[in-house]
Amino acid sequence: MGVQQKKVAVHDLEVGMFVSDLDRPWHQTPFPIQGFHIRSQDDIRALVSHCKWVLVDVAEARESKEVKGGSKPAFGTLQGKRRGGREQLQLPPLSIREPVTYEAVTSLKKEMKTSKRLLDDMEGALDQLFETLRADGVPDLRPIAAITSKMVSSVVRQPDALLWLSRTRAHDSYLYRHALNTSVWALVCGRHLGLNEGLLNHLGLGCLLSQVGKTTLPAELLAREGQLSSEEYLTYRSYVGRGVRMLENSGLSRAVLSVVQGHRERHNGSGFPEGVRGDRIPLLAKVAGIAEFFESLIAPRSHAEPMTPAKAVTLLYEMRNIEFQEDLVENFIQAIGIYPTGSLVELTDGQRGIVVSHSPERRLWPRVMVMTDAASRPLKTAKIIDLARYNEGKEAPETVRVRDCLPHGTEGLDPSYYDVTGVESRWSLSRLISG
């Protein structure tokens, strides 16, 4: 028997009902886009403040008890088993409403030219924003919103170009680099999920603005991010609330603010600032949280040792249903690949290079720009090898695969030094990558 939807006035809602649709666009509310169970009277009061009626899935309705004293409800299902000493939280399968299927419609070479200009423009806009906020000025967010829209269009056309450039160009400001790269990772994941371009705009802008609260924290505290005392960490955690307060009267949509507010919340309730968990974290904030965490692993502040993307992917996978929702983790990994664009790699034949793009169908066989020969001697001209195409029809012993991911900054592996030949016509990276 299929699930049936029933239209219900919000004042007639009951605890246990599953809300599957609203009388207004989801992104105009703080509620999770994938729908949610009503767990308490607080949930009903929140719906009353935003909607007149909703649709509920009749077959999804179930008995539920409110938490005594009106405290945080237990969203999701505790599996009862633990991994790494932490209990897992299982939610119903993720369902994106009216997902959009995107096809790459332009070449990497062509899109990189557009992407380079976008990154230059965004760098200037973010620098201006952070300087204004540090001086307690009133920020003008229109330039950043306009560039975000262009970034979304670029990722929709060709998801690898913007990701490639954001990973390989040099940045002077950690705050800028972290916000920008987080936004690009999130957009690539959102594209894979099938979010429409309006939601991608909210997601990208929210990620870019998620770090603004840090402009009010002491520079010496930020410099030791990851090495803070308990007391210092309490101050550090306040950056989220500070950022929300700085932006709440700037005309941003509720969906954008929900990303700023919720990007440090965690699936099991261990995040901040509110410690909410499960389906009380908005979908866009969940995606932003995964992207921000991944970027902090592979590109931490200078005092910390960066993790290779492959190891970061492994760690992220181990945290599914603990700190991050399982199917979102899986979708993120599918979107960026086992060896994400911009990863330095060594092949089984000894050649070394950098991942240019990957195929969702053959995630272990990406396209690699090879920069050294088998003896680690630099090539005069780099070449792109599509491992999926190269290995087609070969027996396993004859295939060339990725042997290992290499640390960022490995000597002799700077793509800006090379012209490229191979799958596409000869072209130069130096002008495109240099900031």
Tens of pLDDT, residues 375-415: 989 988 888 899 999 998 888 889 999 999 998 878 888 88
Domains, the chain, in order of start with CATH, read 5-57 (no CATH), 108-336 (1.10.3210.10), 340-434 (no CATH)
Tens of pLDDT, residues 64-78: 433 333 433 333 444
Residue 107 CB coordination number (10 Å): 14
Residue of 364, 317, 362, 323 whose CA lies nearest to 345: 364
- Judged by DSSP in three states, 396 sits in helix
Mean pLDDT of 345-352: 95
Listed as own residue / partner, the contacts of 366-375 with beta carbons closer than 8 Å and 24 or more positions apart are 366/337, 366/339, 366/402, 367/423, 368/402, 369/415, 369/418, 369/420, 369/422, 371/412, 371/413, 371/414, 371/415, 371/417, 371/418, 372/412, 372/413, 374/349, 374/350, 375/350
Which residues make beta-bridge pairs with 244?
A: none
| Residues 293/237, Cβ–Cβ less than 8 Å | no
| Residues 390/404, Cβ–Cβ less than 8 Å | no
What is the predicted pLDDT for the residue at 403? 92
| pTM of the predicted model as reported, rounded to 2 decimal places | 0.78
| Residues 340/163, Cβ–Cβ less than 8 Å | yes
- Judged by DSSP in three states, 287 sits in helix
- Judged by DSSP in three states, 311 sits in helix
Residue 435: pLDDT above 50? no
Type of residue found at 89: L
| Residues 415/433, Cβ–Cβ less than 8 Å | yes
Mean pLDDT of 151-163: 93
| Residues 119/171, Cβ–Cβ less than 8 Å | no
Mean pLDDT of 332-343: 91
Average pLDDT, the chain: 84
Question: Positive or negative CA dihedral for 20, 21, 25, 30?
Answer: negative
| Residues 241/273, Cβ–Cβ less than 8 Å | yes
59 — pLDDT class (breaks 50, 70, 90): low
61 — pLDDT class (breaks 50, 70, 90): very low
Residue 103 CB coordination number (10 Å): 7
